[in-house]
Amino acid sequence: MNSLDAPAELDIFDRWLVTIEARFSIQIDANRQAAFKSALKRFVESIGMDLESLDERRKSGLVDVETWSMLLHLATNHETRFFRSLPATERIVKLCEGITSPRILSVGCSSGEEPFSIASALLDAGHPTFRIHGTDVSSMCISTAREGLYPRHHGVGLLAAAPTRGDKMRFHRFVREMVTFEEHNILQDRPVQLANPNIVITQNMLIYYRTDTRYEILDRLSAMLVPGGHLITAPGETLNWSNPSMTRIPNSNPNVFQRSVDV
């Protein structure tokens, strides 16, 4: 039996659930499974198939990369918005004080609103140069992020973006050159295209992973940081996690950890 084959006694949706969770090392929360089932059914119908016939193609190794990418996109929640976590954005601006050209990695950036929120806040705070790199497993989200075109948002100033037709805004070219994006699964061995970040932020991405996998990801993110760098996570993502090179900043909201300067 293929390592991705689910037990035959499961119904077809549950078999796909097991297969996708195993392939991408994610865990689809029970309260999202009904929505995922509906989205999955609509998708396979849109390509002229059903779950059984697609499963037969999978067993024969005939599911292409684009289809797997869409399945992963459907399985994960890409809800995001500008300045979704204002305390996190404000903390990043504060941490960047005294750093001439900060390097920030946003993991699980969805369609790019978080990295661009950080960029807008840094520009408003007087940081003329920085590098922000967003990663996400969804190729569709990364494609949207690279366009830098969004509905207008009152929190994004003219320093960062300009109004366009149809009540939209587009981030200036110089901002898009400093804010880059990459389709990437953090569990892959391939390095992220941003070395030695001063700050790594992940907000609600880790909730999709099993506890042991979550801890592995946190260890990987910690190892990417420069000595003295900071890891910022959402509440609940770091429950019971510890790393000898990382120290939690007391009373921090959101959760903030600092890497030892001696590593």
pLDDT beyond 90 at 72:
no
Q: What pLDDT, on a 0 to 100 scale, did the predictor assign at position 33?
A: 87
Strand partners, 131: 103
Please list, in sequence order, all residues whose beta carbon lies within 8 angstroms of the beta carbon of residue 93, skipping any fewer than 6 positions away. Answer: 118, 121, 122, 125, 127
CA atoms within 13 A on the CB side of 225: 28
Whether residue 226 sits in one domain with residue 150: yes
Q: What pLDDT, on a 0 to 100 scale, did the predictor assign at position 5?
A: 61
Q: How far is CA 26 from CA 22, 47, 61, 70, 260, in A?
A: 7, 25, 21, 15, 30
Q: What pLDDT, on a 0 to 100 scale, did the predictor assign at position 193?
A: 95
Domain membership of residue 223 (yes or no) is yes
pLDDT beyond 50 at 1:
no
pLDDT beyond 60 at 6:
no
Considering the chain, what is the average pLDDT of its residues? 91
Q: What pLDDT, on a 0 to 100 scale, did the predictor assign at position 204?
A: 79
Domain, as residue range, for 119: 86-259
**Residue pLDDT, tens place only, 83-122:** 999 999 999 999 999 899 999 999 999 999 999 999 999 9
Whether residue 173 sits in one domain with residue 49: no
Whether residue 255 sits in one domain with residue 203: yes
Domain boundary among 33, 53, 75: 75
**Residue pLDDT, tens place only, 27-44:** 787 777 888 899 999 999
Whether residue 43 sits in one domain with residue 170: no
Whether residue 183 sits in one domain with residue 142: yes
- Give me the mean pLDDT over the 119-134 stretch: 97
User: Domain tally for the chain?
Assistant: 2
